[in-house]
Chain A
Amino acid sequence: MNLLTSFIAVLILTLAALGFAYSTGLTYLLTVVIPYAAFAVFMVGFVFRVVQWAKAPVPFRIPSTCGQEKSLPWIRTNPLDNPSCLWGVIGRMALEILLFRSLFRNTRVEILQKRPVYDSAKWLWFFGLLFHWSLLIIVLRHLRFFIEPIAGWINSLSALDGFFEIGIPTLYLSDAAILAGLSFLLLRRLISSRLRYISLFTDYFSLLLILGVVGTGLLMRHFFPADLLQVKNMALGWVTFSPVVPKEVGMLFYMHLCFVFTLMVFFPMSKLMHMGGVFLSPTRNLANDNRMKRHINPWNAPVKVHTYEEYEDEFREKMKLAGLPLDKE
């Protein structure tokens, strides 16, 4: 059901793109007005969400410790899975964000011969990493449309990405990788009954939408080339605040744009915000130095406690009888 709705939603977007292409007025809207609107929504939305999280205090220091603590000097600690200082935290976060450390631990359980068996299950980690890294490279490569002259590092990145020079124009490795990654992420949601059970509309929609962006992009690069000069003019127009409506860039290009803008608007209000959120996770970004340094809770309020005086008042006679020392005789 959620899958079907997401599919329909993406179809509607495709049809919308067709509409944009056939009406001059709408083309203007898509290439001149919406880009700014979508970018604004993305930026404002993203910042709003991060600020909303950041504004909420972290009352307690609650890292999940996944390795030996720092205690006695002769016991070897695990500073990356259980950091006790800032450098350890930085290392832990870098591993988490750049290499998906926690996902690397993934296992799969099965009951075999009346006993649970835990198999290593690294595919999600592998394809997840493949997808995210190639997405980053693709986004960075796209900067060549927005910068003139093209910065050297972008060219180097593109050259490296097309290192194997397969086909003309060269197939980018990141393009192949992102397709593989996305296909895996989508297929596992479709095939595994457990994943189907937990998947919401937004889970399918995000994947289909990104698949739409990637698909139209690839089609344009390899099969139905768009006029890159027009595209670049348009992109430079955006960044120099003198937007122009491109001519004859083709149907696919409008679809590509339509998907990208939808993604930008959808991003801040969706689970895709995990991109910003992962940095703020209190179980990961705090050092396990709880007993070394007091953590301050900004709203730490007094509570009703049972004092020793009250305790002794209630049990004085009994304590006396038991020969226990008393504060007040």
Chain B
Amino acid sequence: MSFAKIPKPDELIAVRYEPPETPWMDTPTVFRPGTWSYTGTAKSLTALELPNPRSWQPTDEDWKLPENWKEIILKGMKERLEKYRSFRLFMDICVRCGACADKCHFYIGSGDPKNMPVVRAELLRSVYRRYFTQSGKLFGSLAGARDLTVDVLKEWFYYFYQCTECRRCSVFCPYGIDQAEITMMGRELLNLVGCNINWVTEPMANCFRTGNHLGIQPGGVKDMLEFLAEDVGDRTGVHVEVPLNKKGAEILFVIPSGDYFADPGTYTCMGYMALFHEIGLDYTFSTYASEGGNFGLFTSHEMIKRLNAKIYAEAKRLGVKWILGGECGHMWRVLNQYMETMNGPADFLEVPVSPITGTRFENARSTKMVHISEFTADLIRNGKLKLDPSRNDHLRVTFHDSCNPSRAMGLFEEPRYIINHVCNHFHEMAEDTIRENTFCCGGGAGLGNDENMEMRMRGGMPRAMAVQAVREKYGVNRLTCMCAIDRAVLTSLMEYWVPGVLVTGVHELVANALVMTGEKERTTDLRGDPLEGKTADETL
């Protein structure tokens, strides 16, 4: 990861919150390097049959929009105002009290006033007023309305792809106005005229064809998982199986592809495998549903549905009883708030019951999909796991609540319960930065690409500073999280702001502590790092 092109942390932290003299409507958008993402390629758009595939970049003068682009956008807006109560309501009722303003990590990290959620929403609201309200039609700018122009569209692109849909602002809004919802609408509109970013469209195109964001074909998935299983064997001395596309398994296990593709997610994946082997779970991975993540969430509701359909379809084809989901953030927003509405009903599955403890997961009785932290917390609670938390004694751990499981589920206690049982040194970050107040990693919603690095470091600053505080106070050296994007993005964030802190999934810690039947004497953790008081086996 190269930070060569972006300012040093000392310069980046010198944020000023004083807005400029010129009103925001008169402030032109500047596409500064390091603060925007490359555009979706014609190839990926074509693969998904999305409109207006072409080669362009936002810094071009001419964005090669369709001739009737304005008509398309306004028609799209009208349609969405009629289809989503949230959209119309959030366009109408904001009083501009400013409570959301300094809740956005991008505003805190950049000081750019258009990153205040209220202004980001006004970018769209001003156009809504001009074309869809009487007062806006009659009084124009006096009513806060403005014409839709190419410059406005460019401004939308810059700022709607500078929002990670983390929903932190919606926690503080007295009317529950959710900027994520507005950004989603803004991005849907932009997509109608072919304006999107490649870090979203390419994974989507891959996902649609191969089942996962990285475009890994069935054999590749198998190789990678088996490679990880071998690693588990090396570290623990226990041979674990990789059930794949297995018909008649009891449980379909769906994870984000980041978990088997790249460090440090791979260690989390090894954690799942070790755990499932130890409890003798009858489960299967799938190559077709080899991705729980869903970048449709960052594109349009239609794309969410198109990419999500495979999960129930695969569960049905394999004839499983229910579905278990791995550690991923936005994947869980989709599974919790969209999946069954879009692709349900899941009446061909059974209410999830843990085969180990007999616990019936009543909270998932309709969707039939359980979060792995719920599953594991239940195992620990029922004493089904033999754990030796001292095997994590070389780690000083803190926990980052991922945005979506926090503010679109409320999954707070399960991971903490697990961590407290598998680690001896767990230290929470400041109250204002965890649970429902948690800060984004800075790279969610498709923004975790390298060209956007400066904005990522700015947006991730509040999270990083909270980690730095516990590092100074308690010597924290591991940042735990339950999200694949986090594991990728937080790694660079820590490297930049808080060197010395590595990123970890919850189930990596679980497997470190898990005492397995027939294991060899454990001298290292899953990463091969020596345990406290032990020297690593040189043969590894």
Interface residues of A (CB under 8 A from B): 1, 5, 49, 52-54, 56-62, 64-72, 74-76, 78, 81-82, 84, 96, 100, 102-103, 105-109, 111, 114-116, 118, 124, 128, 192-203, 269-271, 273-274, 277-278, 280-284, 288, 290-297, 299-300, 303-308, 311-312, 314-315, 318-319, 321-325, 327
Q: Does B97 sit within 8 A of A, measured CB to CB?
A: yes
Contacts A107-B172, A201-B143, A300-B342 supplied; 13 other A-B pairs, CB < 8 Å:
A62-B178, A65-B436, A67-B436, A71-B363, A193-B19, A197-B113, A273-B93, A277-B89, A278-B174, A292-B366, A294-B344, A308-B313, A322-B219
Give the complex CA separation of A59 and B19 in angstroms.
37
Evaluate contact between B174 and A102: CB separation under 8 angstroms.
Answer: yes
Give the complex CA separation of A61 and B344 in angstroms.
14
Q: Does B369 sit within 8 A of A, measured CB to CB?
A: yes
**In the complex, residue of chain B having the shortest beta-carbon distance to the beta carbon of A302:** B305
A contact patch SS: loop
Q: Does B88 sit within 8 A of A, measured CB to CB?
A: yes
The interface-forming segment of B65-73, B409-417, B484-492, B521-529 is: B409-417
**In the complex, residue of chain B having the shortest beta-carbon distance to the beta carbon of A82:** B410
Q: A58-B86, A283-B176 are in contact. Are A71 and B341 (CB under 8 A)?
A: no
Task: Name the A residues within 8 Å of B173 (CB-CB).
Answer: 102
**B12, chain A: closest CB distance, angstroms:** 10
**In the complex, residue of chain B having the shortest beta-carbon distance to the beta carbon of A192:** B98
Task: Name the B residues within 8 Å of A312 (CB-CB).
Answer: 288
B82-104 vs A, Cβ < 8 Å mask (1 yes, 0 no): 11111111001111111101110
Evaluate contact between A274 and B287: CB separation under 8 angstroms.
Answer: no
Evaluate contact between B336 and A290: CB separation under 8 angstroms.
Answer: yes
**A155, chain B: closest CB distance, angstroms:** 33
Q: Using a Cβ–Cβ cut-off of 8 Å, how many residues does chain B contribute to the interface with A?
A: 118
**In the complex, residue of chain B having the shortest beta-carbon distance to the beta carbon of A54:** B85
Evaluate contact between A114 and B93: CB separation under 8 angstroms.
Answer: no
**In the complex, residue of chain B having the shortest beta-carbon distance to the beta carbon of A275:** B93
Evaluate contact between B366 and A111: CB separation under 8 angstroms.
Answer: no
**In the complex, residue of chain B having the shortest beta-carbon distance to the beta carbon of A327:** B317
With most chain A CB atoms within 10 A of its CB, the pick from B84, B113, B176, B208 is B176
B172-202 vs A, Cβ < 8 Å mask (1 yes, 0 no): 1111111001000000000000000000000
**In the complex, residue of chain B having the shortest beta-carbon distance to the beta carbon of A77:** B410
Evaluate contact between B288 and A200: CB separation under 8 angstroms.
Answer: no
Evaluate contact between B337 and A69: CB separation under 8 angstroms.
Answer: no
Q: A195-B98, A269-B135, A291-B363 are in contact. Are A281 and B143 (CB under 8 A)?
A: no
Give the complex CA separation of A278 and B170 in angstroms.
13
**A62, chain B: closest CB distance, angstroms:** 6
Evaluate contact between A78 and B174: CB separation under 8 angstroms.
Answer: no
Task: Name the B residues within 8 Å of A52 (CB-CB).
Answer: 88
Q: A81-B436, A194-B17 are in contact. Are A306 and B310 (CB under 8 A)?
A: yes
Evaluate contact between A281 and B175: CB separation under 8 angstroms.
Answer: yes
Give the complex CA separation of A297 and B301 in angstroms.
12
Task: Name the B residues within 8 Å of A68 (CB-CB).
Answer: 410, 412-413
Interface residues of B in 236-292 (CB under 8 A from A): 244-247, 287-288
Evaluate contact between A294 and B92: CB separation under 8 angstroms.
Answer: no
Task: Name the A residues within 8 Å of B96 (CB-CB).
Answer: 195, 198-200, 203, 271
Q: List 11 A-B contacts (CB under 8 A).
A: A56-B87, A59-B83, A64-B170, A65-B406, A109-B17, A115-B468, A118-B432, A198-B101, A281-B89, A303-B309, A322-B223
Give the complex CA separation of A102 and B324 in angstroms.
33
**B137, chain A: closest CB distance, angstroms:** 11
Give the complex CA separation of A291 and B436 in angstroms.
20
Task: Name the B residues within 8 Å of A315 (CB-CB).
Answer: 210, 217-218
Give the complex CA separation of A139 and B462 in angstroms.
44
Task: Name the B residues within 8 Å of A293 (CB-CB).
Answer: 366
Q: Does B302 sit within 8 A of A, measured CB to CB?
A: yes
Q: Does B134 sit within 8 A of A, measured CB to CB?
A: yes
Q: A72-B381, A102-B174, A116-B465 are in contact. Are A322 and B93 (CB under 8 A)?
A: no
Give the complex CA separation of A203 and B137 in angstroms.
18
Interface residues of B in 401-459 (CB under 8 A from A): 406-414, 417, 430, 432-433, 436-437
Evaluate contact between B94 and A60: CB separation under 8 angstroms.
Answer: no
Task: Name the A residues within 8 Å of B99 (CB-CB).
Answer: 102-103, 106, 124
B363-405 vs A, Cβ < 8 Å mask (1 yes, 0 no): 1111101000010011001000000000000000000000000
Evaluate contact between A271 and B177: CB separation under 8 angstroms.
Answer: no
Give the complex CA separation of A282 and B89 in angstroms.
9
- The contact of A116 among B208, B407, B461, by CB within 8 Å, is B461
Give the complex CA separation of A323 and B10 in angstroms.
54
Evaluate contact between B378 and A72: CB separation under 8 angstroms.
Answer: yes
- The contact of B336 among A53, A108, A291, A318, by CB within 8 Å, is A291
Evaluate contact between A318 and B13: CB separation under 8 angstroms.
Answer: no
Give the complex CA separation of A107 and B433 in angstroms.
11
What 6 pairs across the A-B complex have the smallest Cβ distances? A69-B410, A277-B93, A65-B410, A322-B219, A283-B176, A118-B432
**A203, chain B: closest CB distance, angstroms:** 5
Evaluate contact between A105 and B172: CB separation under 8 angstroms.
Answer: yes
**B117, chain A: closest CB distance, angstroms:** 10
Q: A198-B96, A304-B49 are in contact. Are A294 and B366 (CB under 8 A)?
A: yes
Task: Name the A residues within 8 Å of B411 (CB-CB).
Answer: 69, 71
Q: Does B474 sit within 8 A of A, measured CB to CB?
A: no
Evaluate contact between B341 and A273: CB separation under 8 angstroms.
Answer: no
**B322, chain A: closest CB distance, angstroms:** 11
Evaluate contact between B341 and A72: CB separation under 8 angstroms.
Answer: no
Q: A128-B97, A278-B174 are in contact. Are A306 and B208 (CB under 8 A)?
A: yes
Evaluate contact between B344 and A308: CB separation under 8 angstroms.
Answer: no
Evaluate contact between A307 and B313: CB separation under 8 angstroms.
Answer: yes
